[in-house]
Amino acid sequence: MNATSEPEPLQALNGLLARLREKVSLYRERLPEGPLRTMEDIGRLPFTTKEDFRANYPFGLFAVPRKDVVRLHMSSGTTGRPVVTGYTRHDLALWAECMGRVMEYAGVTSNDVVQNAYGYGLFTGGMGLHLGAEAVGATVVPTSSGVTQRQVMLMRDLGTTVLCCTPSYALVLAEALHASGGHLDTRLRVGIFGAEPWSDGMRRQIETRLDLEAFDIYGLTELGGPGVAAECSRHDGLHIFEDHFYAEVVDPDTGTPLQEGQPGELVLTSLRREASPVVRYRTRDRTVLTSEPCACGSPYRRFLRVQGRTDDMLVVRGENVFPSQIEELLAGFGGFNGQYILVIDRQAHALDTLEVVLEADTADEQGLEQEIRDRIRDSIGLRITAKVLRPGVLPRSEGKAKRVVDHREAPGGSGSPP
């Protein structure tokens, strides 16, 4: 999809700021008067956070009358009030444009059959990918998430060529496909995966087991859902659709803007949205921003694949650990099928413990457990315990996978994995 013919980013941003001062009380109180002279001046503006969305639930951050809002989506709200985002008809057209661009970057055309196994409903993923597939003229199979055996049947019967779902569910589908026939017997060639962090090791597993090319996609409910950024065929970062969104990377502790190439927290501003525009939203996602030209020819800057969230970091016995680090290490072991959980516990008057529980097809479970303990100790300096289970024991997720079970959060601590 081509870039819009709307105003240049600085003009769009200043127009947005003027409208927010007029329409949204939170921004009226926070934003300084007058236009910005350069896009870099955005660093002088205050951040918007998830807490702001929850404090203004449900419609306090809307910049248009509710009669102009034609659709609502929202987050699950599992840790508090859900984040509500609204769309005008114009917003839906922009969303379809961005999602069509996602499809084009992945090489999807009108010749493809797109099986959309993201959840439909309040979650933005299902409807977002649906809009994108229709925008490029593909045939959409709106299976939504779950009912895995039906997914497998339709994938084969309808000749699905493009699969859209979370990466963890892609592994579940791969497992079901191989179990049902001993071989894939599909026409899959492209997978568009997102909604949760996934490592390069998991990518390799998905591509090998499903025999497709995997593409990463990025978005947030607060920014209107997927379609903020996407991978191209070079797989060297995600292109930010800068005619719609402005990206910064800041120090996660101080909020100070960082130079390109420095790792930090991604901050995003929506430039075109009407119903629920956001200024300098702190995503909590860790990445690196670069403007080096991409061999694909895209005019847009990239950020490197998200390596986890600043609020996902685990502190175990004083060591900082990200689940993505451990996932990448596990992916290097033969027989590992991508299914794992991390169990953190704290016994009375004792140090924290971290147990890595995983599934693997191996004849030497104890030997593999020792190898895992050694590699994690040597790589990240943390002593852990490991438990290898036979494939099929851990619970499967039809959406976002829960990888961490932290018993320290429960009164009294201590417990066992589900």
- pLDDT value at position 411? 44
Query: Considering all CA atoms of the chain, what is the largest pairwise distance in Å, rounded to the nearest integer?
Result: 69
pLDDT at 208: 96
- What domains sit in the chain, N to C, each tagged with a CATH number? 88-309 (3.40.50.12780), 314-406 (3.30.300.30)
Helix, strand, or coil here: 387?
strand
- For residue 413, the model assigns a pLDDT of 41
Q: How high is the pLDDT of residue 339?
A: 94
- Other C-beta atoms closer than 10 Å to the C-beta of 2 total 9
pLDDT at 417: 39
Name the CA radius of gyration of the chain, rounded.
Answer: 22
Contact 210, 184 (CB under 8 A): yes
Q: Write the DSSP string, 38-73.
A: SGGGGGGSPPB-HHHHHHTTTTTT--S-GGG--EEE
The 10 Å CB-count burial string (b at 16+, else e) for 241-271 is bbbbbbbbbbebeeeebbeeeeebbbbbbbb
The answer to whether 119 touches 210, Cβ cutoff 8 Å, is no
Only one residue has tokens 């986890």, namely 308
Helix (H) or strand (E) segment spanning residue 324: helix 323-330
396: nearest Cα among 119, 181, 214, 171: 171
**pTM of the full predicted structure?**
0.83
Full pLDDT tens readout for the chain, 418 residues: 554 455 789 999 999 999 999 999 999 999 999 999 999 999 999 999 999 999 999 999 999 999 999 999 998 765 578 999 999 999 999 999 999 999 999 999 999 999 999 999 999 999 999 999 999 999 999 999 989 999 999 999 999 999 999 998 999 999 999 998 777 899 999 999 999 888 899 999 999 999 999 999 999 999 999 999 999 999 999 999 999 999 999 999 999 999 999 999 999 999 999 999 999 999 999 999 999 999 999 999 999 988 777 777 787 876 778 888 899 899 999 999 999 999 999 775 567 899 999 999 999 999 999 999 999 999 888 899 999 999 999 999 887 888 999 887 554 444 433 3
